[in-house]
Amino acid sequence: MKKDFWTRPGVVVLTAVFCCALWGSAIPFIKTGYRLFSIPSWDTASILLFAGLRFALAGILVLVIGSLIQKRLLLPTRTSYKAIPVLAFFQTAGQYFFYYIGLAHTSGVNGSIISGTSAFFALLMASMVFHYESLNLRKLTGCVLGFLGILIMNLGDIQGISVFGDGFVLLSQLCSALSAAFIKQFTQTDDAVMLSGYQFFAGGLCLILVGLGMGGHLALTNALGLGVLFHLAFVSAAAYTLWGILLSKNPVSQVGIFGCLIPVMGVLLSALMLQEVDQAFSLTGLISLLLIVGGVAILNVRKDENDDPESRNCR
C-alpha cells in the first residue's frame, strides 16, 4: 500500500522544522515591525493595533487554507458559537495583549526563552485545574527544569527584570496554557482549524478595536513593514495548519518532540536579526535555553504505551 505523503519520515522532519522556524521567527519579526512602524515601547495602543491586524489577517488565511485543504467551506457550527469567543479571549486577545506589550519591554532572546515555558504551563493547567491528566515524576522534572531555566536567565541581570517585559511574556504563556485546555475541550465536537480561524479573526478584531479606541495608529505605507505584517500572519496560518496535518497523520509524540526547537529557533533568529548575539550566546543564556529545551524534551518522551498519550499536545 502506498505510504501517505505526510507520514514519510523526511516530510515529517522537514515540515516540523519549518513550522518551528516560522514560530521562532515571530519574536524578531514583531520587534522588527515595531521599528519599521516607529512604534515606541510606551505606545500600547499602536502595539495592540499592530497585533490585531496580524491575527485578523491570520484568521482569514487559516480559513482560506483550511477550506482549500478540506475541500469545503469552513463555517461555524451551532456548538462553536460558544467556543469561538472563549478561545478568542484566551488564545488571541488575552495571550497576545500580554505578549506584544511584553516584547516591547524585553529582548528578543529573553522573549524566545520565556516562550518555551508554554509547554510547562499547559501541563500544570491540564493536571491541576482541568484534571485532564495526572502529574508524574517525569513531567514534574520537566517543569522544574523549565522554570529553573527562567530563574537562571534572570540571575545574570537581576536589575534588568521588568514586570512589563519578562513578566508580561510569562503571563502570555499562562493565557496560552488556558487556551490549550479549552482547545482540548472544544475540539471534541468542532473542527480545530475552523475554530482557530474564527477565533484568530475575532480575537484580532478585538485587539484592533481596543487599539483604535485607545488612540493607536499605524502608517501602513512602509513596504517592509507590510511585509513583516504579512509574514507574521503567515506564521500563524501556515504553521498551525501544517502542524495540524502532521498531528492528524502521525503519533503526537513523534511530532510534539520538535516543539523543543521553537525556543532554539527564536533565540538564533533574534541573535541574527536583532543583533543580540552576545546575550544569546552568553553562559546564562545558553544554560537557560538548554534547561528549557531539556524540560520540553522530557515532557515529550513517551516511555510506554500507557504513559498518558493524551498529554503530548503541541501549540
Domain count, the chain: 1
Question: Are 88 and 186 contacting, i.e. CB atoms less than 8 angstroms apart?
Answer: no
Per-residue exposure over 64-94, b if at least 16 CB sit within 10 Å of its own CB, e if not: ebbbeeeeeebeeeeebeebbbbbbbbbbbb
Residue 190 lies in domain: 8-311
Q: Is residue 99 part of a domain?
A: yes
Instruction: Tell me which residue has cell 502532521.
Output: 246
Q: Is residue 3 part of a domain?
A: no
Nearest-10 Cα torsion for 6, 22, 293, 249: -20
Distance CA 172, CA 101 (A): 10
At residue 101, the pLDDT reads 94
Q: Is residue 198 part of a domain?
A: yes
Q: Is residue 2 part of a domain?
A: no
Distance CA 195, CA 211 (A): 24
Q: Is residue 148 part of a domain?
A: yes
Cell numbers at 178, concatenated: 488556558
Q: Is residue 213 part of a domain?
A: yes
Residues of the chain with pLDDT under 50: 158-159, 304-315
Q: Is residue 1 part of a domain?
A: no
At residue 239, the pLDDT reads 87
Distance CA 206, CA 228 (A): 21
From 251, 236, 226, select the one nearest 312 (Cα to Cα). 251
**Inter-CA distances, 190 with 8, 71, 81, 285, 309, Å:** 28, 17, 10, 41, 21
Q: Is residue 28 part of a domain?
A: yes
Q: Express the helix, strand and coil content of the chain in percent, nearest 5 each.
A: 75, 0, 25
